Structure 1
């Protein structure tokens, strides 16, 4: 999470985050899907300002109050995509370790009994709990109240599936 990103990595993060945020908003605040793309563009142009404008309910004509969750969903999605990336890198290291050892043994002509790597990687219950807690904490740091933080954290976990 702390290493500098290439332009391609930044673009991939943005695309994945946007897709995750759209799914989260579809679950948590589906009425915001109508303005999702516009708000996402504003968010990516100036994340801090977009988040600050949405931290409090803003009066928008005729006394209608508008507090969009979309910018927070985008910020949380970026955070969660990074977190899941880190978790998957750790899993990949664990999965790759036997393969690397096997390749080294073959190079050194030592017998191997390596199992094939698993077809798919699923998050464990503990990893899902870690992601939820981190997402909720990130939402709180972004200025959302506890109810909205839990709502978005739960929506993220819901999107990630079992």
Structure 2
């Protein structure tokens, strides 16, 4: 986990679930890939037409790059941006301290137990409509990273599945 933020932990956790479901052979390099991605996020524009890495991913040499992991990290990051907007929208009328506590509780679901703080704010479940939007967003982002549609669907389903899991305390 290191010096990652709670938001980065959530991106990594969602992406790991997607990689586990889509390309488990990439899990051996996932920690290194996610650390590199978080230091220097890349977008679909860094992949060639053939789906191989280009630009900052290749470092000037011809190496194998875990493209599914990078697509999963990009999809998870996109989902987190959507969820942040949903939280802001849903809590527009709440006080800023309530919003911060709610977000902290949501992000704490994806942190190791030694970093969690007890928060009295209940985190409501995502609605079926929100989960459908999350799935569509993850699917479209995976396609943008040149994932085949079947793999993009598995990736999107894995992200939604991970978000649907209950809190450890539930």
Residue 25 (structure 1) aligned with residue 19 (structure 2): yes
Q: List alignment gaps of at least 5 residues for structure 2.
A: 54-63, 96-120, 166-170
The residue number in structure 1 matching 2:77 is: 78
Following TM superposition, by how much is the alpha carbon of 1:87 offset from its aligned partner in structure 2, in angstroms?
Answer: 1.0
Tell me the C-alpha RMSD between the 2 structures: 3.4
Q: 1:123 aligns with which of 126, 137, 141?
A: 126
The number of aligned residues is 129
Q: Provide the residue aligned with 1:141 in structure 2.
A: 144
What is the TM-score of this pair, normalised by structure 2? 0.61
8 Å CA contact 1:17, 1:74 repeated in 2? yes
TM-score by length of 1: 0.63
Distance 2:17 2:11 in 1: 10
Task: Measure how far apart 1:160 and its partner are.
Answer: 0.9
Q: Is 1:34 the counterpart of 2:37 in the alignment?
A: no
Give the unaligned 5+ runs of structure 1: 1-7, 59-64, 98-117
Larger radius of gyration: 1
Query: What is the CA-CA distance between 1:11 and the residue it aligns to?
Result: 4.1
Q: Contact 1:136 / 1:153 at 8 angstroms: preserved in 2?
A: yes
Residue 42 of structure 1 deviates from its aligned partner by: 3.3
Highest RCO, 1 vs 2 (Cα 8 Å, sep ≥ 6): 2
Classify the secondary structure of the residue corresponding to 2:86.
helix
Q: Give the helix-richer structure, 1 or 2.
A: 1
